[in-house]
Amino acid sequence: MFIVPKTAGGRPWFLGSLVAAGLISAGAGAWFLNAVAPETQAAVVNQPAAPKRPPVEVVEALPQLKERLDRLAAAKQFTGAVLVSKGDQVLFRQVYGKANYEQDTPFGLDTRFRLASVSKQFTAVAVLKLQDEGKLSVDDPVCKWIEPCPAAWAPLRIHHLLSHTSGIPDLMAQAEWGRIRVTHRTPQELTEASARYGLQFEPGTKVRYNNAAFNLAAVIVAKASGQTFEDYLEQSILRPLGMKDTGSDVHDDAQGLAMGYGLFPAGLTPQPIANVSIVAGAGALYSTLDDMLAWNRGLHQGHVLSRKAYADLIADHAPDDMPERRGPHRAYGYGLYVSALGERTSAPFSDRQIYHTGSWAGFRNLVSYQPDEQVTVVVLSNNYHLRDLVLLINQQAMAEALGRPVPAALSR
């Protein structure tokens, strides 16, 4: 029986201390080889056709998740969209609240959300795909591709850009961030701005989350491919996976996007300024529930990258002597993290998950993947201030899909 999408309201993560284990290191290689689908066991550049996409319809086959989300929606505490799949079977797909409260526009199952930093994995994959094509290497000096190149960047490799180990000051550490945030910038202008600063540390010696570095990586993709970053992404990655509702609106106004909101003393407040030009390679993409499912299935089941490139994508690139933050270790891949994310809940479970968060312009997202049982969980919210709730919903969904005890809260 087809059930129409629900309507409800919204209300109040950085996962800055979320967790993981290094994968392509001693003791972890066996897990990787067992967890990755057979297609990735051979080093290939021409991947097999993308998996067939399921019909886009409401599914509510996870009763505990349904009960919790219905309750949250009734109390106007969650607004957004949730999808859960195991293998090629969708276990849950439903939306709650409105895409635009001022225009009284309800969510559809195909509503587009801004991905924010969930976009970083696409930039990293574009670089690795160009490496598979023989057009560049992650070991290339950044100065091979960026001209003119400041002397301070001489030791930088593309690897450092993708692993948050470059030492380049991030956008928010640059002068006049408040003005930059609302002013359109070209990739060249962003590059020139970053080049004016010295490095904050020797490349490869520390991890510091870095949007500016991913913008530089997008510039390198454009130069190595001979196309704009957005065109290469569309033609070489998104289109082959059938991701027709995913893209960037750096140059064009995307249609069908939800409005982003924040929860302030005055109530749920629209956040209309989404200057994605300043995060072109770091957070400019939008997508839908089912496009993100197609992405997870295609990427993690060997339809996008060679075996070696995929291994590099999810390896732990943090320096060995990096001090631990609160909680267990989190592996820093290229635009992705790997950790036992469920250990941050009141009913901890230790399954390794590959994931990334996103927060920008009124949106809060978490897309996770458990490779052993091929479980994808996509939680997209158009309320920026639902950090902890988005994490909890994601892990409640993951636990129920895996048959683990479902946590009631996050651990503190």
59 versus 326: which is more confidently predicted?
A: 59
Contact criterion met (CB below 8 Å) for 361 and 116 = yes
Condensed to tens digits (0 to 9), the pLDDT of residues 35-84 reads 443 343 334 446 667 888 999 999 999 999 999 999 999 999 999 999 99
Condensed to tens digits (0 to 9), the pLDDT of residues 375-395 reads 999 999 999 999 999 999 999
CA-based nearest residue to 263, from 14, 9, 11: 11
Respond yes or no on whether the N-terminal peptide bond of residue 371 is cis (omega within 30° of 0): no
Q: Which class in CATH covers the domain with range 59-98+109-322+329-410?
A: alpha beta
pLDDT at position 29: 34
* Average of per-residue pLDDT values in the chain: 88
Q: What phi and psi, each to the nearest 5 degrees, are found at residue 337?
A: -115, 160
Residue 40 Cα to chain centre, angstroms: 21
DSSP state of 249: -
Tokens of 194: 């970053």
CA-based nearest residue to 282, from 224, 175, 383, 356: 356
Condensed to tens digits (0 to 9), the pLDDT of residues 365-374 reads 999 999 999 9
